[in-house]
Structure 1
Amino acid sequence: CGWAMAIGHFSVWDYVVFGAMLLISAVIGVYYAFAGGGQQTSKDFLMGGRSMSALPVALSLTASFMSAVTVLGTPAEIYRFGAIFCIFAITYLLVVVISAEVFLPVFYRLGITSTYEYLELRFNKYLRLCGTILFIIQTILYTGIVIYAPALALNQVTGFDLWGAVVATGVVCTFYCTLGGLKAVVWTDVFQVGIMVAGFSSVIIRAVVVQGGIGRILNDSYHGGRLNFWDFNPNPLQRHTFWTIVIGGTFTWTGIYGVNQSQVQRYIACKTRFQAKLSLYINLVGLWAILVCAMFCGLAMYSIYRDCDPWTAKHVSAPDQLMPYLVLDILRDFPGVPGLFVASAYSGTLSTVSSSINALAAVTVEDLIKPYFSSLSEKKLSWISKGTSLFYGGICIAMAALASLMGGLLQAALSIFGMVGGPLLGLFTLGILSPFANPIGAFVGLIGGFTVSLWVGIGAQIYPPLPERTMPLNLSTMGCNTGSNWTATTVMPTLTTVIHLQAAERPVLVDYWYSLSYLYFSTLGTLVTIVLGMIVSLLTGGMKQNISRRFLLTKEDFMSNFSFSKPQTNKKVEVLNWKPFTMADEGTDNPVFNHMEMNITENKKDSGAHI
């Protein structure tokens, strides 16, 4: 461990590998800027002309999930807290089924570009505006974290300027997003997911060789308490248990896969609903594969450093630097391979940030520009879409500075999604599953859910949970040759002393409210929004309103369109089925039926009367 600080500079081959990844990503963007006549309309730019197929979209969804936050944060999480994180495999299954069978059928049937169009169709334009603004805030904050993470890895590995790396990430993403639109985003993701898997695989293979086999890694992990898969403690204050991961994680990730524009925009760009659903289920296999890779990296890291923790020994300054430190340690004699790992972290960033920029452009054009400037031509909207991509690229680079002030990357990222994504998930759930939910109830529910989740989320940032809640496992420095006495102990006795000192100074509310597991932030926001929204709707005449069935989940939607033989037939029946429900409801609740009418009658102007 003592000599590992001396390693840390890219060879020429490392730069070649890294540069090739960036160059190919940029070339894909240039290609789709001109392929097929270029991005002629905003639909081409934002939705790929709704002509995508399942496999590239599935790989794109997987690539976005496997951001640098995953590459750096998840192995460090398993190294410090153990393999209980792998219970997320159950969570991912539940999330994909809910997204594919509850939310996707409704969004795909309506033919919308922005998911927040649904809020105006179902409720009113004010809720659509609320949803759009919350999404923009959430995405910019999260993207700041995702840009900062690989810059941290690059800085640790090569000494490359941290903020130079931040700017480079944003510039490359913005370049190919602005040129190629959604098709460039999807196909660069397909390329980048290959780079990411190669980066993970190189670390795992080398670690197995260094440690003399998988058996030793698993044996060390078992004796070090890292194979702690099952913890059924129902205490919601404990950071990770079976229940917090399965329940809280399902709410958190459904907010991402089910209703978040960045993910939804890609799978509803598929050419049929069958392809859209298939993309989600193929993506599930990718999520499981990534989780297994991250788990083995974390366990291998523990096996290698079980007697000399680099973090406690001050060889790295943050847990998120452990993964690049490991790469330098075990792969320093293989020119080009450290570059491959950093390219994989960087690829994760490019894929996530590019999808975020494209989604931000989509909601801005669809929700903030088109409704108020109806005279704009498709050509102008296409240029405006590109301009907003450029604008948001700059904003996301600036927001990376905020990420540098936050704690652990993985928890910070999921906390942001929980605080903002939970209330939004509750709002969409109200609209799709509750026929009597009305605009007043939905608005009050949203405000209530957002207030509660923001309260507990910000409180948790100000008063971090004590180690007795987060339960970090022992990290030893017994084997370090640093010459100082304090390194010859484990971390836990020091932490125990800190617990007693801090607990006496903290208010009681802090340790029973702000110490709630970060995975429950989303659950809390969702449930408060739904319960409050339903109560207020019932009290304000929600049972008396007429709501078209096309805005609700029906029994025909669930597990539908899973026939290889006739996907197109189902789609046509769906469109024809809209008409009987529009006649009675049109003009009573929602002033934006003109959007739907355009899809059915191709007579946009005649159906745009407002009440």
Structure 2
Amino acid sequence: MVGTGGPVASFSVWDYVVFAGTVVGAAGIGLFQAIRGRKETTSNDFLLGGRQMTAVPVAMSLTASFMSGITVIGTPAEAYRFGAAFWLFGISYAIMSTITAEIFVPVFYRLGITSTYEYLEMRFNKSIRIIGTTMYIVQTALYTGMVIYAPALALNQITGLDLWGVLVATGVVCIFYCTLGGLKAVIWTDVLQMVIMLAGFVAVIVRGAVIAGGLGKIWEDSREGGRLDAFDFDPDPLRRHTFWTIVVGGSMMWVSIYSINQSQVQRYISCKSITHAKMSLYVNMVGLWLTVSLAVFSGLTMYSIYKHCDPLTNGDVNATDQLLPYLVMDILAGYPGVPGLFVAATYSGTLSTVSSSINALVAVTMEDFIRPVWKNLTDKQVLWLNMGLSVVFGFLCIGMAGVASMMGSILQAALSVFGMISGPLLGLYLLGMFFRSSNSTGGLTGLILGLVLTLWVGIGSQFYPPTAEKTLPLQLNITGCDNTGSQNYTTVSPWTTATTPLTTQHVERPALADSWYSLSYLYFCPLGTLSTVLIGLLVSMITGGCKQRDLNSDLFVRTNDLICFSRCPSSQDKKLIDEAGSDAKIDYYDFKITDSQVGVMDKSVEKATRF
């Protein structure tokens, strides 16, 4: 009987057919794009789709890229255990989309960059660019390992397939269509995968509503179980999820992902105009709202069905990340092909994220490490290097999946990694774009110290997790289970995360464990960002940042300077006026060209951006 615990059914032949069809479809898109674009052999075509993409497919790709298998599996489990507070991320998505579209997109478009980290060399120096790129590569490889691990966990739970076999298969499929089709294949595959991902959630909700007695009954059960109490305004920064941690910390974390992360920036700068780029972000915002709403409601559906028999406490699953796969086989096994659709949804989210990561890793490696050293490579050589790097990074990400399996809750671990590394990087970009007084010495010092702080608190929290009262899930019970204690749920395989043990062994905790190490993981990013900005400004002013001259105006957000106010034209601006002629009209601060001498000015601006 559904919702009463015990073993569930396994995959049917039709489930395997549906799942295999999804994988073949993804690979087929890569092959189609490779054949269709066989005459497009430049690096620009491979990495940026020739900068001719339109808003809607890019928006769907943006949504799919970070709404991965981690979201499909982790968010419903989060809502099931802790309630609907995750819905508040909808506010964070709106803030993130606005900041990215109105502040970062114009700067990156104006500079015509391929790698996000080119900006760091233009604004600071080459060393900072290399450090920024290296941080990104480490972060992305680790995150992608988590993304590969998530569906492997689901497939192992549902089908019993070998975990390493699933891991390797995921990486190989992504390598295949990334290598053949480049960014166009990645984006159009993301579109297909986004549709399948949403269909998987809908299947769970619809069937769950039939079993529970309607959507209204699910909502009522969730209300009675305290799952709808999302607005917790407690300012305590040690609380895992409150209104403030999600809206403040979550907004900054998502800004760091969409504004400076190469995987996302590479998508919207592939658009054929800045209007399409901005539109893609706002359409993406709607896609994120839809996705998180379906994911959270899937979790509430799970609670309505298991409110009297928690599979985790009952020992039917070994990890929180196996809850949704267990539900799928419990309620959908009687519909051949539908469980296969769910696994395809999980797998689709993974393929989209992994392929995006591989493509972005190739882009930054080529632009930041290879091209500066070997400047005379032909387009053919660059294309072959791109393909070779796709294979290398694909297998690197597969290897990182083993590391990811030891990092606890997959959703929280993934967001923690972004906070620890992207936070200081975001601070560095804000330092460069908003403060003319910041110099390379201040930027480097702020980045290093900001990274040290976030790694200190992040790694410390892994060894000394917050106390139970800060992270305690909402009430769950097993009074309605038919077979309580069906498994020894204190036994944990090396591929699963630990559940609550029967007895808690006392561990000596250092003085910082209940304060510093207990900081909400969503505050890792604000900590890194603010510390980088503040330390960077202080060191810059001490080391002569306010005496800087000749800074290219295109490198800054076009608002009043926050420190070292100056509206006077620099010597570089004066040089541009001389080259453009006396009829040119230039706003020295906003750097707007309004004359007809576009040809001369284009060359001058190109020189300025490399200044």
Instruction: Note if contact 2:5-2:483 (Cα within 8 Å) is conserved in structure 1.
Output: no
- Residue 39 of structure 1 and its aligned partner are, at CA, apart by 4.1
Give yes or no for contact 1:236–1:244 (8 Å, CA) kept in 2.
yes
Aligned to 1:413: 414
2:325 corresponds to: 324
**Whole-angstrom distance in 1 between the partners of 2:221 and 2:181:** 48
Write out per-residue CA displacement over residues 178-229 of structure 1, whole angstroms, 9 at most, x where no aligned residue: 1100000000001111111111110011001111111111111111111111
Shift in Å at residue 13 of structure 1?
1.1
Q: 2:603 corresponds to which residue?
A: 601
Q: Secondary structure at the match of 1:258?
A: helix
1:537 corresponds in structure 2 to 540
Aligned to 2:46: 45
* Correspondence 1:552 to 2:553: no
CA-CA distance at 1:583 after TM superposition: 4.8
**Structure 1: runs of 5 or more not aligned:** 488-493, 557-577, 587-596
Q: 1:603 to 1:226 in 2, by over 3 A?
A: closer
Instruction: Determine helix, strand or coil for the equivalent of 1:376.
Output: coil
Distance 1:216 1:234 in 2: 33
- What is the CA distance between 1:600 and its match in structure 2? 3.6
Corresponding residue of 1:490: none
- C-alpha change, 1:360 and 1:187, in structure 2 (3 Å) is same
Question: Which residue is 2:394 aligned to?
Answer: 393
Any idea what the Cα deviations from partners look like across 1:448-500, whole Å, max 9, x if unmatched?
1000000000000111111111131111011112266999xxxxxx989978x
Kindly provide the CA deviation profile for residues 341-398 of structure 1, in whole angstroms up to 9, marking residues without a partner as x: 0000000000000000000000000000001111111221111111111110010011
Cα drift, residue 6 of structure 1:
3.4
Q: 1:607 to 1:254 in 2, by over 3 A?
A: closer
Deviations 1:253-295 (A, max 9, x none): 1110010000000001100000000000000000000111011
* Shift in Å, 1:8: 3.1
1: CA distance between counterparts of 2:49 and 2:440? 32
Would you say the 8 A contact 1:39–1:382 is kept in 2?
no
Partner of 1:22: 23
- CA deviation vs aligned residue, 1:87-126 (integer Å, no higher than 9, x gap): 1111110011111111111011100000000000111000
Equivalent residue number for residue 594 of structure 2: none
The alignment status of 1:524 with 2:527, answered yes or no, reads yes
Q: Give, in whole Å, the separation in 2 of the partners of 1:526 and 1:130.
A: 16
Structure with greater helix percent: 1
RMSD over aligned Cα atoms: 2.7
Give 1:173 shift: 0.4
Match of 1:514 in 2: 517
Residues 279-317 of structure 1: CA deviation (Å, up to 9, x unaligned): 000000000001110111010100100000000000000
User: Match of 1:565?
Assistant: none
Q: Secondary structure at the match of 1:513?
A: coil
Where 2:260 maps in the other structure, the secondary structure is coil
**Change in CA separation of 1:181 and 1:582 when aligned onto 2, cut-off 3 Å:** farther
Corresponding position of 1:114: 115
Which stretch shows the higher mean deviation, 328-337 or 370-379?
370-379
Q: Distance in 2 between matches of 1:315 and 1:357?
A: 36
Task: Find the counterpart in structure 1 of residue 591 from structure 2.
Answer: none
Matches for 1:136-147 after TM superposition, within 5 Å: 136-147=137-148
Matches within 5 A, 1:429-444: 429-444=430-445
| Number of the residue aligned with 1:178 | 179
| Contact kept in structure 2, 1:8 and 1:158, CA below 8 Å | no
Q: Do the aligned residues in 1 keep the contact of 2:438 with 2:536 (CA within 8 Å)?
A: yes
Matched-pair contact (CA < 8 Å) for 2:60–2:191: yes
Tell me how far apart the structure 1 counterparts of residues 375 and 66 of structure 2 sit (CA, whole Å).
35
Counterpart of 2:247 in structure 1 is 246
Q: Aligned equivalents of 1:128 and 1:236: distance in 2? A: 32
Could you tell me whether the CA contact under 8 Å between 2:218 and 2:304 is conserved in 1?
yes
Structure 1 residue 36, shift from structure 2 partner: 3.4
Distance 1:468 1:120, change over 3 A: same
1:20 Cα deviation (Å)? 0.9
Partner amino acid, structure 2, of 1:229: A
Paired position in structure 2 for 1:470? 471
- Partners of 1:209 and 1:295 in 2: how far apart? 18
The TM-score, its normalising length taken from structure 2, stands at 0.89
Deviations 1:6-41 (A, max 9, x none): 333221111111111111111110111121334401
1:577-604 deviation digits (Å, cap 9, x = unpaired):
x984775999xxxxxxxxxx99943999
Deviation larger for 221-230 or 32-41: 32-41
One-letter amino acid of the counterpart of residue 119, structure 2 = Y
Distance 1:192 1:311 in 2: 29
Whether the 8 Å contact between 1:143 and 1:356 is mirrored in structure 2 is yes
- Equivalenced residue count is 572
* One-letter amino acid of the structure 1 residue matched with residue 105 of structure 2: L
* Distance of aligned partners of 1:483 and 1:354 in 2 relative to their CA distance in 1, 3 Å threshold: closer
Residue 278 of structure 1 corresponds to: 279
> What amino acid sits opposite 2:463 in the alignment?
I
Could you say if the C-alpha distance between residues 607 and 421 of structure 1 is closer, same or farther in structure 2, counting changes exceeding 3 Å?
A: closer
Give SS of 2:340's match: helix
Specify the code of the residue in structure 2 equivalent to 1:523.
Answer: P
Matches within 5 A, 1:247-266: 247-266=248-267
* Conserved 8 A contact 1:32-1:38: no
Q: CA deviation at 1:544?
A: 1.2
Counterpart-to-counterpart distance in 1, 2:173 and 2:501: 46
Matches of residues 176-575 of structure 1 in structure 2 within 5 Å?
176-482=177-483, 502=506, 505-546=508-549, 547-555=551-559
User: Against the structure 1 CA distance between its residues 548 and 406, is the aligned structure 2 distance closer, same or farther, given a 3 Å change threshold?
Assistant: same
